[in-house]
Amino acid sequence: MKINKMLGTAVALTALAITMPAFADENAELVINGEIPIVTKTAAPAHLEGALDEIMSGWVFRSDETQAMEMDDFDNPAMLFVEEAMVAFETPMGSEGKSCADCHDGPESLANVRPTYPKWNDAKEQVYNIQMQVNDCLTERMGAEKEKYDSQLMKNYLALLASVARGTPVNVAIDGPAQPMWEKGKEMYYTRYGQLELSCASCHEQNYGNWIRADHLSQGQVNGFPVYRLKDTKLTSAQGRFKGCVRDTRAETFKPGSEEFLALELYVASRGNGLSVEGPSVRN
């Protein structure tokens, strides 16, 4: 009887160790370069009532070493791509002989872009994300070729636009004409895919803080994108990560740039309303 009781206690403790959220440092605060404070935890937006009370950046779930890399631009490998984008920003492209700098007063003038996208575009009468807006600038104003959705140059531009917005709260609008697309993204978030029958919510809402194999599950927030993934040694966009997640359920995945992933990006971005833009971030 005593042995059975001891075994029962051991099993209970083991289960607790597996299911209790384990953060790298629950009290860690992210301040980039010692001067840009980043909100990594805050109250969940109203539209998440009943799902989450608090939202947390993926930074909270990383190891101390990975967290530290993001705190200093000299240690953050993603900043190399920001530097490349700054050169491209000043470089004329296309038949019009224009650069980004000819229309925009430096990257800092675009600091309001990353926190608010995806958003409704009145002129195009559809939801736009940053890649779509960049391609419009390239083709319609500069006479240049459209960039592939996840090309290196496109991801560099994403990193640059994120870097100048760091510390600004995410504020993605979900009402008005964007709402039907947002609703579609929400439906996708809770839809189970693949042979493993997993939804986004299965991991990032119901099991964040737990471990799946060697991965410490986060809430799947995208305020840090694009991210430099140490395991891949390259930048990854939000939709690029969506593709990998759906693939990992052993399903036929959607393509970056598809209507499905655009809807999902809008919905997931809105789940982070109130967190700071912190990209380009560092993740495992």
Q: What is the DSSP string of 33-85?
A: TTTEEE--EEEPPGGGTTT-SEEE-GGGGS-HHHHHHHT-TTT-TTHHHHHHH
- Residue 26's pLDDT band (boundaries 50, 70, 90)? low
Domain that holds residue 163: 31-282
**pLDDT at site 44:** 98
What does pTM read for this prediction? 0.89
Tokens of 195: 């042979």
**Amino acid occupying residue 216:** H
- Residue 2's pLDDT band (boundaries 50, 70, 90)? very low
- Residue 213's pLDDT band (boundaries 50, 70, 90)? confident
Enumerate the known binding-site residues for heme c: 100, 103-104, 137, 200, 203-204, 245
The answer to whether position 227 is within a domain reads: yes
**pLDDT tops 70 at residue 4:** no
Residue 213 DSSP label: T
Q: Is 229 a catalytic residue?
A: no
The answer to whether position 23 is within a domain reads: no
Range with lowest mean pLDDT among 18-32, 148-162, 216-230, 268-282: 18-32
The answer to whether position 150 is within a domain reads: yes
| pLDDT-above-90 percentage for the chain | 88
Range with lowest mean pLDDT among 97-101, 118-122, 215-219, 265-269: 215-219
The answer to whether position 25 is within a domain reads: no
Enumerate the known binding-site residues: 100, 103-104, 137, 200, 203-204, 241, 245
The answer to whether position 214 is within a domain reads: yes
**pLDDT tops 80 at residue 29:** yes
Query: What is the average pLDDT across 258-267?
Result: 98
Enumerate the known binding-site residues for substrate: 241
**pLDDT at site 61:** 95
**pLDDT at site 32:** 97
Set 56, 245, 269, 275: catalytic member: 245
**pLDDT tops 90 at residue 218:** yes
**pLDDT at site 220:** 97
**pLDDT tops 70 at residue 15:** no
The answer to whether position 12 is within a domain reads: no
**pLDDT tops 50 at residue 5:** no
**pLDDT at site 28:** 83
Query: What is the average pLDDT across 182-192?
Result: 98
The answer to whether position 213 is within a domain reads: yes
**pLDDT at site 21:** 41
- Residue 214's pLDDT band (boundaries 50, 70, 90)? confident
Residues whose CB falls within 8 Å of the CB of residue 147, separated by 6 or more in sequence, listed in order = 131, 134, 135, 138, 153, 154
**pLDDT tops 50 at residue 206:** yes
User: Mean pLDDT score of the chain, rounded to an integer?
Assistant: 91
Domain total in the chain: 1
Alpha-carbon distance of 90 to 126, in angstroms, equals: 29
Q: Looking at residue 239, which CATH number applies to its domain?
A: 1.10.760.10
The answer to whether position 8 is within a domain reads: no
